[in-house]
Amino acid sequence: MTTVAHTVLLFHTSNHALRAEKLLKQAGVACRLIPVPRHLSSDCGVCVRVDRPDRVAAERAVLDAGVDIAGIHDLAPPRP
């Protein structure tokens, strides 16, 4: 059985991802900018990664600030 370790929030532009990172940090949600995983999009760009338990809080903080989210995806931990 695979457990979900992280959630990534994808945005339409890198500027939106940067803004979301700032908003999440202000809201006390731990996050990190990472490259968009290739299996989610072939476009170059960055997304915001949060711990899975923070998914709802992250989504709420970003949407409440008016930043449009292009997609939200749960990621399984890497295989050993």
Q: What is the pLDDT of residue 63?
A: 96
Euclidean distance between CA atoms 23 and 29, whole angstroms? 9
Domains of the chain: 6-75 (3.30.70)
Q: What is the pLDDT of residue 37?
A: 84
- As a whole number of Å, the end-to-end CA separation of the chain is 14
Residues 11/17, Cβ–Cβ less than 8 Å: yes
Higher pLDDT, 38 or 13: 13
Query: Residues 39-60: pLDDT tens digits?
Result: 777 566 899 999 999 999 999 9
